[in-house]
Amino acid sequence: MHGIRPAIAVAALGTAAAFFTVSPASAMPRYSARYEQRCALCHVNPSGGGLRAPYATQQLVPEEIAWSPDRPAILEALDPKIGKHLLIGADFRELYVRSDVAGGDLNFFQMQADLYLGFQLDSRVTLYYDLGQSGNYELFGLGYLYPTFYLKAGRFIPSYGWKVDDHTMYVRSELGLAPPANSDVGLEAGFSRGRFDAQVALVNGNRGSTLDTDSSIAKVANLVYRCHAGPVGAAFGASGYHNPTPSGTLDTAGLYGYFTLQRLTWLWETDFVRRRDAGGTTKEGLAASHELTWLVRQGLELLATFDSYDPDRRQATGAKSRIGAGIFAMPRPYATLELLVRRTRYDDGVAYSGDDFTETVMQIHLLY
């Protein structure tokens, strides 16, 4: 754990910086857990993230999530509709990162700048556009054939596990689900009824690429079931991704879910990752992420996180883990503040190692 490999440590910090500086479509699954509802409660995209629905912007967030009690004035200012058929939204995030490892300070930088547009073509069909600061984007048509069934076609982030706002969580970053190379072109079908949600998709398998580069198709599946027993709410989900290519095969499979008890919410996800190259060499890894939050009062939360990643469980090639704690506040429906302190530790191996380090992360988020 204490082996010194400065080049690898700096590379790891640089990779983390890249994850921070792109423009993610954010979502906070802990709200879905607390309300025991699907992501479509707050977002136009039924798989979560990005443009928020008018109900979330004008009612749910000001009345039940943000600290501010001055609801009438806020509602007058936060009107995302331009006429009857156009919906707009935006996200801006700026971070300040300080590290105790040389070269690890990122100081101030702009993490996110996303502009969202939703064109209501008719009562069941929406054209969705999300443009990020790095040129990454989502552009798809979304149509509800029935209230419980939809089809999506275009460029989108495949539905897999929790679509969390922090894309440095290992179940996003180590699975290649961090922006800008996390969107793909294809078709997705989704079904929701009662406590059950499911999505399946066929995509090119070339995340972040404009054009497909081979003849293979990647398959994605995601399903979750929510339940309730007394004061405890819970959800159990499963995801799968299979992408065969001429250069090798990537397979991921994961379990995820939540537990809620009054003010306490626990989100968890564990993913198995298998990478097989064209020569037959196989690496089997394991990634896990956890988020525990305590709602102190409306608009103020304490949170703790834990991440772990082993890129090759069959060989002692190295692994890493990270633990964090902090505070999250939403003083207004359009502004959030977050402070996190995180400690990353490496179990050094022949192929994967680095310096242990501690970082302080401060974030301001403006949303519309």
Give the CATH number for residue 131: 2.40.160.10
Give the per-residue pLDDT at 213. 84
The CA–CA distances, whole Å, from 3 to 346, 347, 357 equal 9, 9, 13
Which of 98-112, 260-274, 297-311 has the lowest average pLDDT?
98-112
Classify residue 201: in a domain, yes or no.
yes
Which of 154-163, 220-229, 252-261, 313-322 has the lowest average pLDDT?
313-322
pLDDT tens, position by position, 253-280: 999 999 999 999 999 999 999 999 988 8
pLDDT band at 55 (very low <50, low <70, confident <90, very high): confident
pLDDT tens, position by position, 63-104: 899 997 666 666 666 778 888 899 999 999 999 999 998 777
Q: 17 and 98 in contact (C-beta within 8 Å)?
A: no
DSSP reduced 3-state for 177: coil
Residue 24 token pair: 């993610």
Q: Average pLDDT for residues 199-215, to the nearest whole number?
A: 90
pLDDT band at 36 (very low <50, low <70, confident <90, very high): confident
Q: Comparing C-alpha atoms, which of 236, 295, 240, 238 is closest to residue 267?
A: 236
| Residue 166 scores a pLDDT above 60 | yes
Q: Average pLDDT for residues 178-190, to the nearest whole number?
A: 92
Q: 240 and 253 in contact (C-beta within 8 Å)?
A: yes
Which residue has better confidence, 368 or 106?
368
Q: Average pLDDT for residues 130-150, to the nearest whole number?
A: 93
| Residue 33 scores a pLDDT above 60 | yes
| Residue 6 scores a pLDDT above 60 | no
State how far the Cα of 35 lies from the Cα of 55, in Å rounded to an integer.
Answer: 14
The residue segments making up the domain with residue 140 are: 6-367
Q: 30 and 39 in contact (C-beta within 8 Å)?
A: no
Give the per-residue pLDDT at 76. 67
Q: Average pLDDT for residues 151-168, to the nearest whole number?
A: 93
Classify residue 198: in a domain, yes or no.
yes
Which residue has better confidence, 279 or 220?
220
Classify residue 288: in a domain, yes or no.
yes
Report percent pLDDT > 70 for the chain.
90
Q: Average pLDDT for residues 293-305, to the nearest whole number?
A: 97
User: Average model confidence (pLDDT) for the chain?
Assistant: 88
Phi, psi of 54 (to 5 degrees): -55, -35
For the chain, the straight-line distance linking the first and the last C-alpha, in angstroms and rounded, comes to 44
Q: Average pLDDT for residues 131-159, to the nearest whole number?
A: 94
Classify residue 267: in a domain, yes or no.
yes
**Number of domains composing the chain:** 1
| Residue 187 scores a pLDDT above 90 | yes
Classify residue 1: in a domain, yes or no.
no
| Residue 302 scores a pLDDT above 80 | yes
State how far the Cα of 161 lies from the Cα of 319, in Å rounded to an integer.
Answer: 22
Spell out a b/e string for 124-148, using b for 16 or more CB atoms within 10 Å of the CB, else e.
Answer: eebebbbbbbeebbbebebeeeeee
Q: 44 and 51 in contact (C-beta within 8 Å)?
A: yes
Classify residue 289: in a domain, yes or no.
yes
Report percent pLDDT > 90 for the chain.
63
Q: 177 and 165 in contact (C-beta within 8 Å)?
A: no
pLDDT band at 152 (very low <50, low <70, confident <90, very high): very high
pLDDT tens, position by position, 9-28: 333 333 333 333 333 344 68
pTM of the model: 0.88
State how far the Cα of 363 lies from the Cα of 111, in Å rounded to an integer.
Answer: 9
